[in-house]
Every structure is written in structure tokens, then in C-alpha cells.
Structure 1
Amino acid sequence: MKRFWGFVFLCALSGAVAGAQILDQPVAVVRLTETVNIGQRELRQQARLLEQQIGRELTLDNRRELLEAQIAEVLISQAAKRANIRVSESEINQAITQQRQSLGQPVTDEQFRRIVEQQMGMNWSEYREQIRERLVQEKYVLEKRRSLLESAETPTDREIRDFYEDNATQFTNPTMVRFKHVFIDTRNLSSQDKAARRRLADELLRSVRNGVSSIDQLIDDSDDDARFSGGDFGYLIRQESPQAQLLGRSFVNQVFELEEGQLARDVLESNVGYHIVQVTHRRSARLLQLDDPVFPGQSTTVRDQIRNHLALSNQQRAFQRAINEVVDELRQEADVTLYEENLNW
């Protein structure tokens, strides 16, 4: 569970503040610079989220840990506000880029926004505000315990190789296909407008099949034609992934039925629109060596990924220790009242 509670803080879940506005049974009342009521309803929502991720119900001790994480968040948030800690738009953008890259496979900005909306249940503005709050809290902890955080150890080459050898079978690439496509967006369209887009897709595909045009020519034309876009999609994997969830299982299966070099006979429909698809490369599943790219076309190798993972683990341990020290100090000057009987539900 340790990793989980780190996730609770790092994601800067702001439910405790929201719960202050709802008539509810309190589980804690926290005041450093202002009073915040952490309600049972909001804590139960957060508990359900965590239970879905770990696949079991939280114990009473787990609920106490979750409550302590929210109390810590409130205290650090108020202390950071009191200290006038701020973050820039560029810092927020950089953090969002890092989260997008952490998905494990390439996704476009548009795909990532859709993932945020579908999987996190919030709009883009709410997501950016959550990131901003997280960065403010992290910056406050960093300023208070900079020397502790800077002392996190750098992974050695021996540690990297040992980790690889202990987990070699986990470093794999699944079967994947790469394709180019002409894409016609159908999101947020009426049924009438969507039907018109389908007719356009059929017309474009006929022009390719009849030799009047080619998929490469259509991709070039898309620069000057707002009705459709086109280009290299990159690699797609069959397994569940952000891309597969965005596009839909039926679309993914149809793409994987195509051979290398084959143009789809019909227009393919995904969750987001219509596609004219031609597979350009098929890649078999394989075990990765230490210096292989994690994903085709990327510069990050398995070695890089392990180094980053171990470094992040070291940093997270140091950061958790810093959080604990900062929160202990803040609790000495704050008023915190617990209602543990309301943790029983």
C-alpha cells in the first residue's frame, strides 16, 4: 500500500476541500490558515477509486492512511498558499508532458486529452488545476527539505543490470502494426452530419481504389483540406492500451487483420471517426535486451527506463520522508480533530 498512498498525495486529490461545502458526516476538521471539513462522503469516493485500482476493499487501517494523506494535503496546500508558492504555465505544461509520456506508448495531445476526460472523469481545465495544485505542494516541500531530496541516490550500473536480470521477462514488445491513414473526425456531430462524413470517406476510398488518387496523395492534400487529416499513425498494439480504448476494440481488431502493405477494403470506423487505413509494418512480439528501444521509433532504451524507474523510486522515498517531516511540523501549529468513528461504513 505504500506506493498507493504516495500516489494519493502526488496526484493532489482535492476532494477534501470540495467536501467542505457538502453537509456530511465529518471524518476530520483541519485548520492551519482556514478551516476545512473532510467529509465521509468524499473520503468514501476516494476509497472507492483506490479499491478499483487495487482490486480489493480497503481495511479500516487503510482508510485511516487515506484520511492521513488528505489531512497532509490540506496542511501542505494551506502552508504553500501562506508562503505564496506559485508555479508557471510552462511548469504545468512540462508536468502534463511527463504524465503523457509515462503512459508507456506514444499518444498525441488530442488522444491524451480524451484519456483524461474518459478515465479521470474531469475536463481539461480541472485536470490542469489538479496538476497546478500538485506542483505547488511539491514545490513547498522541496523548499522546506531541499537537502533531503537532493540526497536521493543515483542508480548504479550494477543495480540497473540486476533489476533487468530479475525482471527480464517483463521487458517485451507485443505484436504491433504501424499504419498510415486518412482520418475524418465525427466527434460531437449530429447523425446527419456524421452520415455526410461517411459519404466523404467512401468517396475518398473509391478514388484510391479506382487509381484516381492514392492514400499518400490524400495525406498530402489534407494539409489544404479541412474536411480530413492524414499521416503516419505510428505503432498500434492489440492489447488494452490508451490508444485501444480511444479508438475502440472493433477498430483495433480490423487493423490487425490487415497484412503488411495492405489497404483496408472498406472505410474503418473508430470511436472518434472514419479511417482509410494502409498497414505499413507488422512487428512480432519480442523480448527486449537492455539497450533496445522501449518502443519502436523512440530513443528511450530499456536501460534508460530502468535507470529512471530506480531513480524515481529513490526520489519518492526521499520525498515521502520529506512530506512526513513537513507534515509533522505543520501539525504542531495546526488544529486537527479526527472523527474516527465515521471511518466505519
Structure 2
Amino acid sequence: MHAVFLDKKTFNSSSSTESINKQVNQLVCFDTTAPNKIIERCINADIIITNKVILSEKILNQLPQLKLICIAATGTNNVDLKAASRLNIAVTNVAGYAKQSVAQYVFAQILEYYNQTTHHHKNVENGLWPESDTFCVLGNPITEIANKTLGIIGYGDLGSSVEKIALAFGMKILIAERNDAKHIRESRHSFEYVCKHADIISLHCPHVPSTEHLINAHSLALMKPSAMLINTARGAIIDNSALLDALNNKIIAYAVLDVLDCEPPPPNHMLLSNQPENLKVTAHIAWASNEAQSRLLDLVAQNIKAFINNKPVNRVD
């Protein structure tokens, strides 16, 4: 089996592909791959590994030797699954590898916001402590997260991992029902109820038609003026204009985004060029702990092994 990894640069340079190497005769890795290079690089490939490189029907039609596409992520929107199925190309994805990493990121942001650790460090850097006439410099208020209400929108592996940590901190949990659901399942609450009552809302739902701009002017207006919003899911779940307006007008207090609707974003992206003080943006790194990257690559190797042994797992085609 000849395998090609089209965008290895989406992983740390230190991330090992050893487990994948053991499953194939040859593995060729490219840092990135432009659309016009895919055919040239994959014409003799039995297996393609892609994180975000798009494999369209037009491209797949030109790769007669291709037998397996391994998506090195959970989302499958970069591969034309219908075309793959028609061409008898198996497609697999991976899931569950980043639940610890994403949950840790969510609480890193929550604790930074409620503990104001950067602010208090800056106070010492700026020489305020030696000048204090008491033993401490209080600065910005510190707020306990115990008894705060965390709203979780999207209750899969990631949402449930966030819940476990929240419970350890003594937080209250509201799990949102799907916004388009006709019935509310036991132990869940309507999307609107969660928006109204949560102190912190953490997004973990997929980007599908029903969640496009789920967070919009209406849902933001339902939230508390003190609410914190965290998005580690997909950027298009949020209406950018509505969020910017909500932050500028203090409709909500704070937002943390690890994802945007276009990645990488253009320099003039409205949430970067007009970024208010109560918005923090990071570059899609919540998933990317060293351990999560290692687990992900090992899962890709397991998918390849299962396919070769005719015992397919994680099939999405």
C-alpha cells in the first residue's frame, strides 16, 4: 500500500507517523498541498491522508488507484462522500482523540477570565506590589466558578468531557437540546432556556445547516449581560456581525473563539480587524495538545490496519 499525507504541517513537526508507517509499504508526507498538486502527488496512491485538503468529485474521478481516504479529523466536509462511495473509495475519520485537550482549553479560558491571572501578573511586572501599602494588590476582581451555570451546546465526547471538569469545580450544568428538536429529552433543556440561564456557554456542536449562525442576534440577546461565550466547535455556528455588536454593546460580557468561519482568516476579517477588548481569538489550537495529536495519528493507523484486514472501522462513506 502506497500512502500520501497531503498536509502533515497541520500537526507539530515532532508528531510521529511511526504507527502509520508500520501499516503501509510507503508513506510520503507533504507539509501542505495546493489543489493543483493533488493529482500529481496522489496518482499512484492507494491511501490518502488529509486533514483539511479538499478532495472533490472532480479530483477523485482522476485517481483510479485510490482505495482509502483517511480524514485526520472528525469533520468530513472536505471530502465528497457521495463521489467516494460511487467510486468504491472507502473513507474514514477519527473521533474522541481531543476530548481532554479541548476540555482543558475551555477551562484554561474560563479560569483566566474569572481569575484574571494575566492582569495580576501585569500588576507585578509594572511594579505595583512593592509600592503597595498593604500585603497584596487586589486589582481586578476574582470570581469563583463554583455554583456558576455552564451551558453546553453539543453533548458528544467533547461536551461531556467539559461537563466532568465543571462538576469537579462545583458548577451547575445545563445541557441544550438540539435547537431544531421537536421534543426535549430527559435531563436536557431547550436551546433558548440554556441561552437565558447560563453564565458560561461552551459550543461543541457540529456545523450543519441547522446550526449555521445558531448564535445570532436573537440568541445573544437572550444571554445574560455577564455571560461568557466559548467556541471550540466551528466558526460558522456564530454570526460574526451579531457577535461583534453584542460585545461592543455589552449585550454579553466576553467571548473566546478558537475557530472562525474562514481558516486561515484574511487579515481584514471583521473579528480580527475590529477586535474589541472583550474578545479573545486563538488559531484553532484547542484540539492540538501533543497527546491529542499522537492519539489522532494512531487512530489513522488503526483505520488503515482495519481496512487492509477487511474489518473496517470509523467508515463515513
Looking at both structures, which has the greater relative contact order when contacts are Cα pairs under 8 Å and sequence separation is at least 6?
Answer: 1
Which structure shows the bigger proportion of residues in helix conformation?
1
Q: TM-score if structure 1 supplies the norm length? A: 0.23
